[in-house]
Amino acid sequence: MAEYSALALLKNALTGNKDWKPAWRKPEPKAAYDVIVIGGGGHGLSTAYYLAKEHGVTNVAVLEKGYLGSGNVGRNTTAVRSNYLLPPNTRFYEHSMKLWENLSHDLNYNVMFSQRGVLNLAHSPAQLDDYARRGNSMRHQGVDAELLSVAEISRLIPVMDTSKATRFPVYGGLMQPRAGTARHDAVAWGYARGADRRGVDIVENCEVTGFLRDGDRITGVTTSRGEIRAKKVAVAVAGSTGRVMQLAGIDRLPIESHVLQAFVTESLKPVLDTVVTFGMGHFYVSQSDKGGLVYGGDIDGYNSYAQRGNLPIVQEVMAEMLALFPSLAGVRLLRSWGGVCDMSMDGSPIITTGPLPGMYLNCGWCYGGFKATPASGFCFAHTIARDEPHELNAAFTLDRFHRGILIDEKGQGATPRLH
């Protein structure tokens, strides 16, 4: 594969863009691999990339049941942040942030990472105190955080009404300046291209239908394109984890699958140059490079594998948006979509060996899957290659649920729909 460069861009512009090479191959699956990664989303592709780059494991197949990037990596609101409270999450997501900051250069592919900041609004003095606590925790762990006054927020976001006459007045906010957004499709394409260049086979339209076993040990998979054997099989399928693990006889996991809806409006002139979250409900919004407002809110309360949601959540999200930005009431909704989230019992992820020999599991991302893409792949690759966790994912085991050592970031208890 040729490197992307300004010279290549100019050459192809002058020749009608007819000479670009495919970003990745379309190989037929081989009979056997060292590692099979099930799931061609951001986490599966980044895992394959870091297996090859960091550990020299290149005899790898990524199996995707549909087309590459058809799952959650292309169905999210693109926010990237590391503004967490508890040390295991803070360290993990800050490592991800550092990988994001160099990702376009590392992949030689523009993932359009824009460090425009993420602002959490506080709507009561108590909430502002809580944000100050989180910000201090972040700064103690070397993560950037700033507590903003109402006047500073008003200057930053003039389109938002910050007067005390509003129903939910703003008392201040917590800003992480290094946070921001990235282009979700470009992340999938960049990792796919990077993995392919290092010899990884990306096999699309290849649905896993079962697992091959030698006693308890997983030795491969059966697929819609035949049997494929492997020394190690890694599962990174987000909201489909329960379904895939049932094929291996694992019926109970500490996760639930829920739909998370997202929305985008018609294009507007620039009105919002940061990511904003609403403190009196679950709502977050940013403005894309194309001008559309990209936003979302809570998961649908019922369990589902559908990539579409229901109208009560639509109404709730729109109401929260207008509570912050009443001047946007006339803006038209362009489209909406849904992704299936794997909600864990404590709101934190699972990156671990097992639960069967020869198997490795990556799931439980709740709302944090996209922002975690680089660190998830980095740590999962380490876990697969060395059969032990990296220090950054050592706490994200299945065993914590048996032992009661939960990483409950929001303090909501073992209720996935509240995380």
- Return the SS3 of 321: helix
- Flag whether 14 is in a domain: no
- Flag whether 145 is in a domain: yes
- Return the SS3 of 211: strand
**DSSP designation for 216:** T
Last residue of a domain, one of 344, 374, 390: 344
pLDDT of residue 381: 98
Q: Distance between CA atoms of 30 and 48, rounded to whole angstroms?
A: 16
Are 171 and 216 part of one and the same domain? no
Domain that holds residue 51: 28-82+85-108+184-253+346-418
- Flag whether 366 is in a domain: yes
pLDDT of residue 2: 55
Are 174 and 188 part of one and the same domain? no
pLDDT of residue 306: 87
Are 320 and 195 part of one and the same domain? no
Q: Distance between CA atoms of 312 and 315, rounded to whole angstroms?
A: 5
Are 290 and 264 part of one and the same domain? yes
pLDDT of residue 161: 87
Are 155 and 200 part of one and the same domain? no
**CATH of residue 138:** 3.30.9.10
pLDDT of residue 309: 87
Are 264 and 334 part of one and the same domain? yes
- Flag whether 220 is in a domain: yes
- Flag whether 21 is in a domain: no
Are 351 and 303 part of one and the same domain? no
Last residue of a domain, one of 280, 315, 344: 344
Q: Distance between CA atoms of 61 and 30, rounded to whole angstroms?
A: 9
Specify whether the CB–CB gap between 46 and 373 falls below 8 A.
yes
Residue 60's nearest CA partner among 168, 224, 192, 209 is 192
Q: Distance between CA atoms of 43 and 196, rounded to whole angstroms?
A: 15
Secondary element (H or E) of residue 242: helix 241-246
Last residue of a domain, one of 313, 344, 375: 344
- Flag whether 7 is in a domain: no
Are 202 and 241 part of one and the same domain? yes
pLDDT of residue 307: 83
Q: Distance between CA atoms of 114 and 81, rounded to whole angstroms?
A: 11
**DSSP designation for 227:** E
Are 392 and 337 part of one and the same domain? no
Percent of the chain at pLDDT > 90 equals 86
pTM of the full structure:
0.95
**CATH of residue 222:** 3.50.50.60
Are 200 and 98 part of one and the same domain? yes
Residues of the chain below pLDDT 50: none
The tens digit of pLDDT for each residue in 105-127 reads 999 999 999 999 999 999 999 99
- Flag whether 20 is in a domain: no
How many domains are there within the chain?
2
Are 351 and 336 part of one and the same domain? no
Are 271 and 378 part of one and the same domain? no
